[in-house]
Chain A
Amino acid sequence: MPSDPPIKSEDRPDRGIGGQARSGDRGMTGLVIGINPLISWIRRNIMELKEVIFIMIALTTVVSGWLVVSLKNIIHSAFALLVTFFGVGGLFVYVGADFLAATQILIYIGGVMILVLFAIMLSEGVYNISLFHRARVLPALLVLGALPYILFRVIMEASWHVRSGAGGEEVMGGNTTQTIGGLLLGEYLLPFEVISVLLLSALVGSVVLIRKEVGKRRGKAA
């Protein structure tokens, strides 16, 4: 934590403040005295600092998720989706899923976002105004109003089975990467192989979808 050394070095000068403040750096000392209670408060409530960061990440995720669906310029909403991916990665960290957070950054931001941006550039213009279906506003508002309400009711009233000691201070110990590797090649070997076949077929399929058109166009030109 970068804020640690200033506190320790300032605890002692606090005592000898009468000698030091007269010697000139009064503004510096005043600044440090002003910051000191804040830092010690944060240190006392270190759990709350963690929660504050959690709330900030959650708010970033939700707000940028809303921007994805509400912005008019499609490239802006693509970048808002990038922020959402980062936020979800941070939320993964809070449930002790470090490997998932890294995978989220690598796959979504490194892969999917690049694909989406390429598709936006290769297809229609960036600024198209008529984004929303006028006729579908009513069912959409129904979805946006009723669905979260029902889900909140269910989430708040259901009695979830929560493992004792989960959440809060205890972070899941150990190496999740090792455990996930063991599970992928042990218990989940069949889904793993199916996923790899699916990835291969998606690769071949997308190449075929794009390539056919190019071949035809070249045939026309020739």
Chain B
Amino acid sequence: MNIISLQSYLIISALLFSFGLFAIITRKNAISVLLGFELIMNAAGLNFAAFSHFSDSVIHGQVFTIFIIALAAAESAVILALIISVYQKMDTVQIDEIDSLKG
């Protein structure tokens, strides 16, 4: 069996996705949560590129990977701006301490 196959790509991106989800669930620091989010976006882009290579004769999947990269860059810029803004207001980026909306 060929090692460079669709299945190995899918397994790699499944692992990256699981790690990203694990980081989002367990981490306290908001920036660590963002790092897990970036892992998930990378896994999605990798899946698109792999499918476009292994099961499509035109490279439509790569265009979607570019859209994903652009989305991830824009979102991370906004999220980091939010994090810094929250830090200036509340002096913390631990997401369990940001609870001023709690009753």
When C-beta atoms are compared, the residue in chain A nearest to B42 turns out to be: A88
Is the interface on chain A under 10, 10 to 19, 20 to 34, or 35 or more residues?
Answer: 35 or more
Contact status A137-B71, CB under 8 Å: no
Given A123-B87, A166-B55, A209-B82, also A65-B8 (CB < 8 A): no
A162 near B: Cβ within 8 Å? Answer: yes
Given A163-B55, A206-B81, also A77-B35 (CB < 8 A): yes
When C-beta atoms are compared, the residue in chain B nearest to A146 turns out to be: B18
CA distance A63 to B34 in the complex (A): 19
A155 near B: Cβ within 8 Å? Answer: yes
- Residue of A51, A62, A152, A209 with highest tally of chain B CB at under 10 A: A209
Contact status B39-A95, CB under 8 Å: no
Given A95-B53, A203-B77, also A131-B27 (CB < 8 A): yes
Contact status B77-A133, CB under 8 Å: no
Q: Tell me the smallest distance from the CB of B22 to a CB of chain A, in Å.
A: 5
B98 near A: Cβ within 8 Å? Answer: no
Q: Which chain A residues have a beta carbon within 8 Å of chain B's beta carbons?
A: 50-51, 54-55, 58, 61-62, 65-66, 68-69, 74, 77-78, 81, 84-85, 88, 91-92, 94-97, 99-100, 103-104, 107-108, 111-112, 115-116, 118-120, 122-124, 128, 130-133, 136-137, 139-140, 143-144, 147-148, 151-152, 155-156, 160-163, 166-168, 172, 176, 179-180, 183-184, 187-188, 191, 195, 198-199, 202-203, 205-207, 209-210, 212-213, 217
6 further A-B contacts with Cβ under 8 Å, apart from A68-B35, A88-B42, A160-B7, are A58-B8, A140-B22, A143-B18, A162-B54, A183-B63, A195-B70
